[in-house]
Amino acid sequence: MQNRLEILRKERGIRQEDLAQALGVSRQTVISLEKGKYNPSLTLAFKLARYFGLAIEDIFDDADERS
């Protein structure tokens, strides 16, 4: 699953550590999400969407899984 997490984070000047702390996850989790190596739980996806004030679909794209 592809995502715009790194782009959104950098546009807002947020450090990985700060995002991880706000979400209650490790920095390694944020790194794995940004690299597309980890798909978030539904709960984490909602937390991310609320944090950035966006819909989940504005952050994550499952186009590769629909093909």
pLDDT averaged per 10 residues, the chain (length 67): 96 98 98 96 98 97 68
Q: What is the pLDDT of residue 44?
A: 98
Q: What is the pLDDT of residue 1?
A: 87
Single-letter amino acid code for the residue at 51: Y
User: In whole angstroms, what is the distance from residue 53 CA to residue 1 CA?
Assistant: 20
Among 59, 14, 66, which residue's Cα sits nearest to residue 39? 59
User: In whole angstroms, what is the distance from residue 15 CA to residue 43 CA?
Assistant: 21
Backbone angles phi, psi at 24, to 5 degrees: 75, 35
The rounded radius of gyration (Å) of the Cα atoms in the chain is: 11
Give yes or no for a contact between 4 and 62, defined as CB atoms under 8 angstroms apart: no
